[in-house]
Amino acid sequence: MKKIIAIIALSTLVFSSCVEDEIPGLQNTNVSLNFKHNFDGTTVTSTDFNAIQYINAEGDELSIEKLRYLVSDVTFHKSNGEKIVVEGYNLVDVTNNENLTYVTPIQVPIGTYTNVSFTFGFDNTDNVDGAYADLNSVSWNVPMMMGGGYHFMQLEGKFINNVAAEVGYQYHTIKAVNNTDPMNLVFQDTFFTVNLGEVIVHNNSSVDVNMNIAEWFKGPYQWKLNDWHSMLMPNFDAQVKMYDNGQNVFSLGMFN
């Protein structure tokens, strides 16, 4: 019995450490975030990969062969300013249909939230080089010469270039780094907070998060794959523009 009490006490402590300002007495629930993908409204799943069938804002025809990205620290915001931070991360792997649904590892109170948000990528506190065995195991790392830590997204495929040839692109997002001087790396943050807006959480709620892949190429910077398609990780300017374009990529879908 003492063991059970100890476990309950420990569980409470762990739970409390992850949740800010939880309101006692309310019924709690896990929330499922379903990550869905489209290209300007056309649904994209792994079955649509490998065929050049999309056209970006620049008019480039392109395919998708790989898409995986990292989200972290889902946060539920209450109208009184309180928030519940769900520490943790989820590597959405569209290519292999893995982790398309992320069930919050802790429960949150049922109720109305003025906003649900998450971090695209890792913030600087979480982006610790080599710290996560599961991410290391799927080669999600960024080389130390570019600052270490982890990728935020890998979007790859082929496009038709300006001489009508199929060329590979690797739209990889990381923390922007200028490594012109290897002894003096200059960084700029490129993780960002995605605000989905108001969500009413019911018992076992399910929330759709939509990614419009076309937005990565759309604006404010109209991406020219002819100019920027490869070796983008050490390209500081490209990373900053990816960050800018990423602001409009995600939106709230259906929830119940």
Partner 1 sequence: MKEVFYILVFAVLLSCSKDDSSIVPAQYVPTPLALDIPPLFAQKILPPVIPFTNPQTVEGVALGKKLFFDTILSADNTQSCATCHAPANAFTDASQFSDGIDGVFGNRNSMPIFNAAFNYDEKFFWDGRSFGLELQALEPVKNPIEMHNTWEQAIADLQSNSQYPNLFQLAFGTTSITKELVTKAIAQFERTLISGNSKFDKYLLGTATLTPQELNGFNVFMDEAKGDCFHCHGSDNNPLWTDNIFHNNGLDAVFADLGLGTVTGDPADNGKFKSPSLRNLAFTAPYMHDGRFNTLDEVINHYSEGLQNSPTIDPLMKMVAQGGVQITTQEKADLKAFLLTLSDYEFINNPDFQN
Which lies closer to partner 1 via its Cβ, residue 13 or residue 164?
Answer: 164
Strand partners, 91: 70
Candidate residues 45, 97, 136, 204; the one interacting with partner 1 per rule CB under 8 A: 136
In whole angstroms, give the CA distance from residue 129 to residue 149. Answer: 4
Q: Which stretch binds partner 1 (CB under 8 A): 5-13, 17-25, 33-41, 128-136?
A: 128-136
Asked if residue 97 lies in contact with residue 181, where contact means CB atoms within 8 angstroms, the answer is no
189 binds partner 1 (CB under 8 A): no
Q: What are the start-end ranges of the H helices in the chain? A: 2-18, 133-137, 236-246
What does the per-residue mask of binding to partner 1 show for 54-93, with x meaning CB under 8 A? -----------xx---------------------------
Asked if residue 195 lies in contact with residue 117, where contact means CB atoms within 8 angstroms, the answer is yes
Minimum distance of partner 1 from residue 146's CB (angstroms): 8
188 binds partner 1 (CB under 8 A): no
129 binds partner 1 (CB under 8 A): yes
Asked if residue 233 lies in contact with residue 172, where contact means CB atoms within 8 angstroms, the answer is yes
Candidate residues 134, 181, 184, 227; the one interacting with partner 1 per rule CB under 8 A: 134
Asked if residue 69 lies in contact with residue 92, where contact means CB atoms within 8 angstroms, the answer is yes
Q: Which stretch binds partner 1 (CB under 8 A): 99-107, 141-149, 184-192, 211-219?
A: 141-149
User: Tokens in use for 61?
Assistant: 């025809």
Q: Which stretch binds partner 1 (CB under 8 A): 19-27, 80-88, 114-122, 154-162?
A: 154-162
Asked if residue 66 lies in contact with residue 157, where contact means CB atoms within 8 angstroms, the answer is yes
